[in-house]
Amino acid sequence: MNPELQRFLAISAVEPVAGGCIHDCYRVTIGRTAGRTARFIKTNEPRYGDAFAAEADGLAALRAAGMRAPEPLSHGVAAGRAYLVLEFLDLGGRRDFTELGRMLAAAHRQSGPRFGWERDNYIGSTPQPNGWCEDWAQFWIERRIGPQIELAKRNGFDIPTPSMKILEHHEAEPSLLHGDLWSGNAGFTPRGPVVFDPAVYYGDREADLAMTELFGGFPREFYRAYNDAWPLEEGYERRKHLYNLYHLVNHLNLFGGGYLAQVMTTLQLLASG
């Protein structure tokens, strides 16, 4: 860790830990007296200051909705580094996916005024535009899949824009979404499941559920518990491909052509319906 940032935050001990592929992450001890406290800190270049502010905003929103998430304590830019200080959580608990499914369904019951969010944020390191929109299909094409496809074209990938016809007659509610909910962004503490690294907004709850099926997926008990709490509507099995296309194209933009075949397969699935 940057020694000047360490002094600025009054950190007395530092231990590097895993925390994703973008940021430098540490378990630190703050203070030098009997009141020393363990914290989790992310740091990066100063340009990531806005991303850390958006992450803190998202974590606070999820916590306010009743989800277990690390408490954001401070963030900013100092000593030439952007930083985010979070509550440190012991991820050594029982893997209770049933409770995770119930917790997510309860958070999705938190309804917003419209689709979107009060500020832009990030999906990974990609800017995620938000704002407010009355129509879900319009929001999805203008603020989600459309910008990703335009970025893919600038990156040299010729990706066609999918039809929004699949969303016709689908009455989506503006539920509070985690926004980036895959298995790597959920864990389990002795007190129960916890989520982190959000990209929050108000949107169709199916978008969160769809992403949980990507990149390994969650166990069946998670989906059983969610559906017991709030059953999914008919047509989800088709709509989920449109929602996951957003994340697949984002991965194409972030990590390159290794995701192109999966993107094109998903587009074919949507076109065949």
Active site residue 180: yes
Token pair of 48, please? 């990531």
Q: With residue 28 as reference, give the H or E element that holds it.
A: strand 24-30
SS3 218: coil
Residue 54 has φ and ψ, to the nearest 5°, of -65, -40
Within 8 A by CB and 6+ apart from 101, the residues are 218, 221, 222, 223, 224, 225, 226, 229
Give the CA distances from residue 124 to residues 54, 189, 217, 233, in Å, rounded to whole numbers and listed in that order: 12, 24, 18, 29
Cα 86 from Cα 102, distance rounded (Å): 25
Q: Are 103 and 193 spatial neighbours (Cβ–Cβ below 8 Å)? A: yes
Helix (H, G, I), strand (E, B) or coil at 220: helix
143, amino acid identity: R
Selecting among 50, 96, 120, 180, the annotated active-site residue is 180
Best CA proximity match to 70, nearest among 83, 92, 51, 87: 87
Host H or E run for residue 62: helix 49-64
Query: Are 28 and 13 in contact, with CB atoms under 8 Å apart?
Result: yes
Say how far apart CA 14 and CA 26 lie, in whole Å: 6
Catalytic residues: 180
